[in-house]
Homo-oligomer: A and B are copies of this chain.
Amino acid sequence: MPEGLIYLDGNSLGPLPKTVPPRMADAVSRQWGNSLVKGWNEAGWFKLPSVVAAQLEPLIGAEPGSVAVGDSTSINLFKVLSAALKMSGSRRRILSDSGNFPSDLYIAEGLVSLVGSGFHLMALPSDKVEAAIGADVAVVMLTEVDYRTGQRRNMRSVTQAAHAAGALVIWDLSHSAGALPVRLADCNADFAVGCGYKFLNGGPGAPAFLYVAPRHAESLVPTLSGWMGHSAPFAFESSYRPASGIEKMQAGTPPILSLIAFSTALELFKDLDLEALHARSLQLGDLFIAEMARRCPYLELATPRDHRLRGSQVSFRHANGYEVMQALIARDVIGDFRSPDIIRFGITPLYISHDDIIRASATLEQILRDRLWDTDTYRVRAAVT
């Protein structure tokens, strides 16, 4: 981590693990440079998506062979949502949270506009979603931890409610994976997707992942049916025949260099106790909340205090949130702003200490108390253009 920086934005882009630069240099110069096309076998590129999937499975409580890696979160959502719609019988509604990460809603919009047949997206305010899970709902599509507030949904109870109503559930784990112990199998989830570049530290735009519950996998025929999901990619058969395993969810050729960075980053999670990690994150979050309540009691907390309702993020609301965050960044405290008024801080004990939280709190207090964001305006405006 750069000297003096307090980095509370691992929920946007996780920092660089020290192990990545030498591995990337090797991947470029030796694997690509020397092995050339033989790298697909010699360097294990063909198996890399499956290797990364196997690294991810224990982190999200997924059964072996239930995760596929590649493409972006948006594309993966399209894959699992189109699969879920094919299983919907006469139900036609996709139910989501209007505060869900917008790309998830956009992808659902694009899919239903293509499919037609009465399929539609209903996005309700966050606290109205669960009551709306009824007999007309084909799929409940939610994010476990809200990207603005950091509020965590109860994956187990929502999944139960959906199943009781005859609906399927897709979970977006972008703000959960690598931050807290996700329990997909235990919660009986149907599908999930998630992002590699946040708490998993996979690098900018790292490939994403998806999960298909084993009970749904066998009958699933992918919509994005690319050659890497074919049962025999190198037989070059003229018709698609899905692979028998979760590999069928792969589509085109994956971005190997980005995958190697991701895989290297995941090695750091191998023996990590995510339960303990999250407990420590909640403690640090408590500290941040307490510090700000003491220093700036008027600052509105957007994140629930209840540990059961919190991911690994603390957010506040402020009418000048954008300017406040720019002023923080100018003072080497990195979080980010999310429209319309959220300043959010990702908190992971992997690289954030008690002292960091105290210093961040003091800096935020000073900015708010002295309205320092006003004095930064010129620089801020200049940086944005």
What residues of chain A have their CB less than 8 Å away from a CB belonging to chain B? 2, 5, 7, 9, 12-13, 15-16, 20-21, 24-25, 28-29, 31-34, 36-41, 45, 71-75, 78, 82, 86, 98-99, 101-103, 105-107, 109-111, 113-117, 123, 195, 197, 203-208, 221-228, 230, 234-240, 251-259, 261, 329, 334, 336, 338-339, 383
Determine how many copies of this chain the complex contains.
Answer: 2
Query: Is B72 touching A103 in the complex (CB atoms < 8 A)?
Result: no
| C-alpha spacing A259/B235, complex, angstroms | 29
Residues of B within 8 A of A28 (CB): 16, 20-21, 24, 203, 261
Residues of B within 8 A of A208 (CB): 252
- Interchain CB contact under 8 A, A251 and B113: no
Q: Nearest B residue to A76 by beta-carbon distance?
A: B252
- Tell whether A107 pairs with B226 under 8 Å between CB atoms, given A74-B251, A115-B115: yes
CB of A46, distance to nearest CB on chain B (Å): 10
Could you say which residues of chain B place their CB within 8 Å of the CB of A251?
A: 72, 74-75, 107
The CA of A105 and the CA of B113, in the complex, are separated in Å by 23
- Which residues of B lie under 8 Å from residue A203 when comparing CB positions? 28, 32, 256-257
- A197 contact set on B, CB distance < 8 A: 253
Given contacts A223-B114, A257-B261, contact A32 B16 (CB under 8 A): yes
Residues of B near A222 (CB, < 8 A) are: 110
| Interface pairs (6), CB distance under 8 Å | A24-B24, A103-B228, A110-B240, A114-B115, A203-B256, A204-B257
Contacts of A15 in B (CB 8 A): 32-33, 36
Q: Is the CB of A256 within 8 A of B204?
A: yes
